[in-house]
Structure 1
């Protein structure tokens, strides 16, 4: 006997319970990586236990057992989160409560509670992710829950699930226009619209502290960091796509930190930014990274156009928002790839960029003395030729056998010494850090800049995708008369990293290699481009559908200066129109159906609820006889009412009208539903 035949042999209650368990497991599954391990295992164990009870027909556990499990879940949540309030603790408890309620599924009211908790748990998935894949999974969950809900309201016989699914699908399609209107016109009013995250951690990305090796870990992450759409058809060359992030000017021997400023916070005016050439105009869709910095191309003079946020530029040319980026953010900006900035002459503040901790990297110090001595003895050189020293260091990187790699090994306390003399290999941050240490040993102001470099253009929608694996570190050196100058020492070791934009790839496993032999890599790349274009459309048109875009919609409808009150008015008009349309359609359907047949159908429904299922072809007289046989003398009034209903249909001069029979229908002593 196969699985289908086995399911057909199960009682209807068991079959319906197994279907509901499958739907609940689908609803909970996306949160498996978010829930604490104990909560995920507990929920899975409870659902499996309930499925085994339904399959074998065994009785449900007692209330004491369920109560003890509930107390354990509450204690576990309190121990894990130190509270039972908030997003994470609340979702954990909801998931466990949903699984526990399945152990109390004895009557219809218990099923209704399960449906309510299931819909709420489905909604809670969007607290953690609003991606296109999550939305697609929850659409399937919605249809599954609606199917179970419709099936629960079909008490007679063993209706196939496909019948309930068709009804649920029709309900979802009928409700889709209203939901679309609510989405487009319901006013976005914080904090009611959107749920901020409870934690500032969790997303990979650039860090506020640079420890050599961190960016190499990002190179293994292929998730999207930001998407860019350039206004012009031709984007800047990939070698000029430097998206600026944190700038590090303080080194303690192990970690690099942002240089702290005394007094007033740094401002863009102090940067002395001078730009030349044509500007590059573009739009950025930034993924949430839980930090306040904005990622812009070097260098932006004007503030990016943000919705509901303020921004400012430091004298390091880094743009910061007034709060961390916890949700997807879209902004427009204008940058110049040709620029100079910083003081033209040496100032006291620049001395901080030549400081190095004592006792670290002695061989690098010796190399700096050697390079300066060689420069002094070279023909035509000057003692203060800082740019010549920079070029000498880059020449050493090009010709010294240095290697650009993701796996340089673990560096020790004297990281610059190991890079220049021992290992001679590293990722971009190893190369940039060693280069900056050498520059400072040469008494040239230098610092490390982190961000993203390059990107891939999606041929489907034309957007440039910048991934976490595009994270990069480069250097800036200060040259008299020129200010701060970008120097990318990684380009000296591996020119393809910034020129032809050749990323380092991790070694492929046996499974990935086997897949490549079955599916063409070109096909995989094309499918990925299509998926990312669809995901980008979802981000642009759904996740980034802000209040400003709502107001733009009203302007297109003819409103001069719309506000949220206009949104509410238009939404109310549409909802009222939809309600009136539904009412008119319902009245039309009622008039198209014979009212006598409709009343007889309601009678059969009431009797089915009382446990007496009757075929639709049975006339009122035969129904009256069935009622007498099943319920006895206490059903005499109902049997008499059925006979008068029949006389109304077939007697030429019936003494009772349909309107009176409808009134009596509501007052009849109907038999009670059987106890489950």
Structure 2
């Protein structure tokens, strides 16, 4: 009869302790490196995975470790690969690449406990580098598991005898983490945040907002597939209509036939354009007040609703407004930032009497492009029904054409040729918001109506759990503004004419879903929506209370504690005072614990010391009765009282009815005539 093959767990348990501990350490290292795979070069991930698998195979099969020439060759390959990929071996990206490779290669030198300690601390440092790329709640949770794993391996390395179970080391590591958690919480709350010490080197990062100073027809379509969060908005008071939620980004006014670009700041500086823009901005009605938590974008743009007169209240940097109502920060947004703003949905902007004051780029079109659109513009200008009706009537006629001409809003309009406006108006009749806005602006300019394209975010959805409005990358939008006499710049969103649901009830286009996602969404749509809302709310709480805990919040906390004008020095004083108070409490607890910890054993230890001073050697494991016998044999009847006291001490511990209490024996100890 054939015996059953042993299970993988049985084979693992049968391995020598060194092999088992090595496999656990390799597993923890793999967990630490795994979140970095998306940020590492492919060759680095493959090399690190290959080295870890090789080291695990050597441990399982009890094979010798490779020699120094192997390690030297792999190190040369790693340095060369890092330099060829990043063109440097310094900086954030190159440094993380080298660190991951060195951590993997160091496992091939794991021969002694000293090597293990080096790997532990390299692992802790590699774990921290994950936060260079993401500080999300999911990353923090993964790194907490990595921390417990590294602590477990470290504790296990300090247990050299026998085969202690990993569960025992894990319990010790968990206890250490729990004991250290209050200290870390206090340091997080009180340690002064002194910029730029808390910043991360801003290597060249690709913008995650999906918006740029240029727009080629088609480049926003891929954004509709991206459901990552761009920003969260918390309104103070009544929430505006969803159709009014236009968050302004780059304004694109220069068109070369294929690409829209932003105009360079006029008059040579931002300050002059700010003055010009404010002079032509008139607001009315009640402002909408809100707070924005914006994800890092590596762009200087601050997304605010139209139109914000005052600069957003941003911690740590200033902001200015261009003549096109776009607010720009003094530096790129490389970290999560929270700012408050105030916008007026009812406003007028730009010259209202004559378009002469406008730059000529607002009506310029490149020669040789979109001839059919130019012909359509001439035809609309010559239409008797529109002749003499003014530019507003021409704009409305173009909107009516979009509404009734069979045009369609789609996620996949296909690749456009050189004459993008012609293809939209006459051939394809479908497109994403950028196609519609671009074609509409070209038609307006062809009719000598100043027009420009505005990009940003529109709509969003309200999270029912925490009440925040969430705008995702798929909410990126493009609309147009036209200049009309007597009204200035007027927002015209041609996408609303093609698909009213895009800016009204906001029916977001969805990419094709897989079979599993379709089945899950069809069976439990309510559960999927609620789970997503709960997860977004949890992430938002993490952003608000952890990632966005700034120095200003620390100082506000000191104000609540009674400081009139707190500074970072006051934070230091509070932290030092708390550390001293904690040390005093710890010393008092230690003293109390010494007094409370088995006074019977302490009294017996004091007895041993007294007799040792008298020249009597006592075995360390001798009980009071044996000590009494040694005292009588050494000192005779002169020390009989000490021997009787020792017998009473033993009875107090073990007899059912002791003759004297411990307090009485402690008093007698002081009164005894000890031999000398």
Please, what TM-score do these two structures have when normalized by structure 2?
0.87
Residues 131-189 of structure 1: CA distance to partner in whole angstroms, max 9, x if unpaired? 00000000011111111111111112111111111111111111111100100111111
Q: Is the 8 A contact 1:102 1:114 kept in 2?
A: yes
Give the equivalent residue in structure 2 for 1:637.
none
Equivalences for residues 448-459 of structure 1 within 5 A: 448-459=453-464
1:242 aligned to 240, 243, 246, which one?
246
| SS of match in other structure, 1:33 | helix
Q: Does 1:318 align with 2:319?
A: no
**1:393 has 2:398 as partner:** yes
1:512 paired to 2:521? no
2:370 matched residue in structure 1: 361
Structure 1 position 591, deviation (Å): 5.0
Is structure 2 residue 461 aligned with structure 1 residue 461?
no
Decide whether aligned partners of structure 1 residues 329 and 364 sit closer, same or farther in structure 2, where only a CA change above 3 A counts. Answer: same
C-alpha distance in 2, partners of 1:481/1:70? 71
Where do 5+ consecutive residues of structure 1 fail to align?
A: 599-640, 656-676
Deviations 1:240-277 (A, max 9, x none): 00000000111011100012244333533322111111
122, 145, 150: which is aligned to 1:145?
Answer: 150
Equivalent in the alignment of 2:109 = 104
Q: Deviations over 1:535-569 (max 9, x none)?
A: 00000000000000000111111111111111111
Aligned to 2:562: 558
C-alpha distance in 1 between matches for 2:259 and 2:601: 83
1:351 corresponds, among 335, 349, 360, to: 360
> How far apart, in 1, do the equivalents of 2:207 and 2:451 lie?
32
* Secondary structure in structure 1 of the residue aligned to 2:264: coil
Distance 1:451 1:268 in 2: 20
After superposition, residues 50-449 of structure 1 pair within 5 angstroms as: 50-232=55-237, 234-265=238-269, 266-271=272-277, 272-344=280-352, 345-374=354-383, 377-378=384-385, 382-383=387-388, 385-449=390-454
Q: Matched residues in 2 for 1:588 and 1:165: separation?
A: 30
Distance, in Å, in 1 between the alignment partners of 2:600 and 2:155 is 26
Give the distance between the partners of 1:521 and 1:52, measured in 2 at CA.
Answer: 46
| Deviations, residues 624-663 of structure 1 (Å, cap 9, x unaligned) | xxxxxxxxxxxxxxxxx997434597423679xxxxxxxx
| Cα pair 2:296 2:333 within 8 Å, conserved | yes
2:156 and 2:166 in contact (8 A); partners too: yes
Sort the Cα spacing of 1:59 and 1:199 in 2 relative to 1 into closer, same or farther, 3 A. Answer: same
Cα distance in 2 between the residues matched to 1:318 and 1:197: 24
Q: Shift of residue 370 of structure 1? A: 0.6
| 1:645 correspondence with 2:653 | no
How many residues are treated as equivalent by the alignment?
608
Q: Give the direction of change, closer, same or farther, for the CA distance of 1:133–1:102 in structure 2 (3 Å limit).
A: same
Contact kept in structure 2, 1:279 and 1:334, CA below 8 Å: yes
For the 8 Å contact 1:205–1:225, the answer to whether it is kept is no
Q: 1:512 to 1:155 in 2, by over 3 A?
A: same
Contact 2:310–2:342, Cα closer than 8 Å, also in 1 = yes
Relative to structure 1, the CA distance from residue 555 to residue 584 in structure 2 (aligned partners, 3 Å threshold; closer, same or farther) is: same
Superposed CA deviations along residues 269-316 of structure 1, whole A, max 9, x for unmatched, are 322111111100000001111111110000001111010111011110
Measure how far apart 1:39 and its partner are.
0.8
**Conservation of the 8 A alpha-carbon contact between 1:267 and 1:312:** no
Give the Cα–Cα distance (whole angstroms) in 2 for the partners of residues 41 and 425 of structure 1.
Answer: 43
Q: Aligned partners of 2:581 and 2:186: how far apart in 1? A: 12
Conserved 8 A contact 1:238-1:454: yes
Cα deviation for residue 72 of structure 1 reads 1.8
Q: Give the superposition deviation at 1:597.
A: 8.4
| Offset at residue 225 of structure 1 (A) | 0.7
Structure 1 window deviating more from structure 2 (196-205 vs 438-447): it is: 196-205
Equivalent residue for 2:610?
none
- Give CA deviations for 1:60-102 in whole Å, capped at 9, x if unaligned: 1122222221222122212222221111111111111111111
8 A contact 2:190–2:575 mirrored in 1: yes
Distance, in Å, in 2 between the alignment partners of 1:596 and 1:88 is: 62
Number of the residue aligned with 1:660: none
State the alpha-carbon separation in 1 of the partners of residues 412 and 444 from structure 2: 25
Q: Distance in 2 between matches of 1:87 and 1:596?
A: 60
Q: Which deviations, in whole Å up to 9, do the C-alpha atoms of 1:203-242 show, x marking residues without a partner?
A: 242111010111111111111111000001x300000000
- Residues 590-601 of structure 1: matches in 2 within 5 Å? 590=594, 592-593=596-597
TM-superposed CA distance for 1:57, in Å, is 1.3
Distance 1:487 1:531, change over 3 A: same
Assess, with a 3 A threshold, how the Cα gap between structure 1 residues 340 and 642 changes in structure 2: closer, same or farther.
farther
Higher alpha-carbon deviation: 579-588 or 319-328: 579-588
Q: TM-score, normalised by structure 1?
A: 0.87
The 3 A distance-change label for structure 1 pair 642 and 146 is farther
Task: Rate the CA distance shift 1:98–1:582 in 2: closer, same or farther, 3 A.
Answer: farther
**Shift of the alpha carbon at 1:585?**
3.7
Q: Is the 8 A contact 1:204 1:218 kept in 2?
A: no
Check the 8 A contact 1:178/1:575 in 2, yes or no.
no
Q: From the superposition, tell whether residues 643 and 81 of structure 1 become closer, same or farther in structure 2 (CA, over 3 Å).
A: farther
**Rounded Cα–Cα distance in structure 2 between residues aligned with 1:581 and 1:398:** 75
- State the match for 1:549 in structure 2: 553
Secondary structure, in 3 states, of the residue corresponding to 2:225?
coil
Q: 1:434 to 1:276 in 2, by over 3 A?
A: same
How far apart, in 1, do the equivalents of 2:174 and 2:593 lie? 20
